[in-house]
Homo-oligomer: A and B are copies of this chain.
Amino acid sequence: MAATIRDVAQASGVHVSTVSRTFSAPHLVNPETRNRVLAIAEDLGYRPNRAARALTTGRTHNLGLIVADIANPFFPPLIKAAQAHARLRDYHVFVADTDEDPQVEEELIQTLTKQVDGVLLCSPRLSNRAIEKLSEDVPFVVVNRRLRGMSTVLMDVGHGARLAIEHLTALGHRRIALLAGPAGSWTSREMSDAARAADGIELTVIGPNSPTEHGGIAAAEAVLAADVTAVLAYNDLMAIGLVEGLDERGVEVPGRISVVGVDDIVPGRLTRPKLTTVAMPTEAAGRTAVDLLLQLVGAGETATPALATLATHLIIRDSTGPVPS
């Protein structure tokens, strides 16, 4: 059992409140007493209350990681990679989930910034302006959103979307639908920019949609009404839901409609047909984001923001096939 504040007080011959004050407001403690208490605390291996220590050293050795939806299998590999990478550097990572709600996101940022040395914000739904304001108090790294003047980690989903559309056009598809993601999503905008710029296709954009299996199921009617032969979905969860929704209506994938997702989450390998998808480098993104954040934490106010763009690639499985004749 670790030494308590009482052990330190007794060994130092001072009152418990003096030990407490030595860590929480050291300038208020007589230097001689302060030095004695600190030396004894170290000898006994006393772990000061980290909140109190944070007030003294300005470091909590904790990082906050905010994600849009912890239940989306996209995030856990990113979270776990960030945690493992931070742990090697003596940092703990605390995760909070915004439930895709910008207001909750704002609350969580306000709370976390007071308690950690830096914040990783993944797939934000807040506006750029709101994020800039909220990030003034503590080093910030944003994942999946381009924000000038802030350190950002991007996964190059525009490139992935182009690869997906090339794959579909090579299979003869011309009438393609894009199932867009949530309104505030940078990833969704990148995908739609890439799709709109593609040559020789007739594009229908459907959305915004909830980035979930339910969002995909709900979009099945709109996909059928759009009279397309292929769909690129904002993420794998929506793609899986869309395949379900089409299956319920007796529409075969890929026989009548080809479907491509984005993310390469594990469930996409379990469904039948197995999902063709744009693989996102989630683990590398988690590690890179921690590296950039700890650079900012170390550099203090002199830090310059960095931009890391990570490559994506296409994984062709069984949910895409030739255009029906």
Contacts and interface: CB of A to CB of B under 8 A. Distances in A.
B24 A62 contact: no
A55 B104 CA distance: 25
Interface in A7-59: 21, 24-25, 28, 47, 49-52, 54-55
Contact of A62 (B97, B111, B270): B111
Given A104-B87, A266-B213, A115 B62 contact: yes
A130 to B, nearest CB: 11
A1 interface: yes
Contacts of A55: 24, 49, 51-52, 55
Contact of A24 (B25, B76, B267): B25
B97 A83 contact: yes
Nearest to A61: B111
**Chain multiplicity (copies):** 2
Between A62, A240, A267, A270, the greatest number of chain B beta carbons within 10 A of the residue's beta carbon is seen for: A270
26 contacts: A2-B110, A24-B25, A24-B55, A25-B28, A47-B114, A49-B114, A51-B60, A51-B115, A52-B55, A62-B115, A64-B94, A70-B80, A70-B95, A71-B73, A71-B77, A71-B79, A87-B104, A92-B96, A92-B108, A92-B111, A93-B96, A94-B96, A95-B95, A95-B96, A240-B270, A270-B271
Given A51-B54, A80-B97, 15 more contacts: A24-B25, A49-B55, A50-B115, A51-B60, A62-B115, A70-B95, A71-B77, A76-B76, A79-B97, A83-B96, A83-B99, A93-B96, A95-B97, A213-B266, A266-B267
Contacts of A51: 51-52, 54-55, 60, 114-115
Interface string A132-167: 010000000000000000000000000000000000
A127 to B, nearest CB: 14
A99 B111 contact: no
A297 interface: no
Given A55-B55, A107-B92, A71 B62 contact: no
Contacts of A99: 80, 83-84
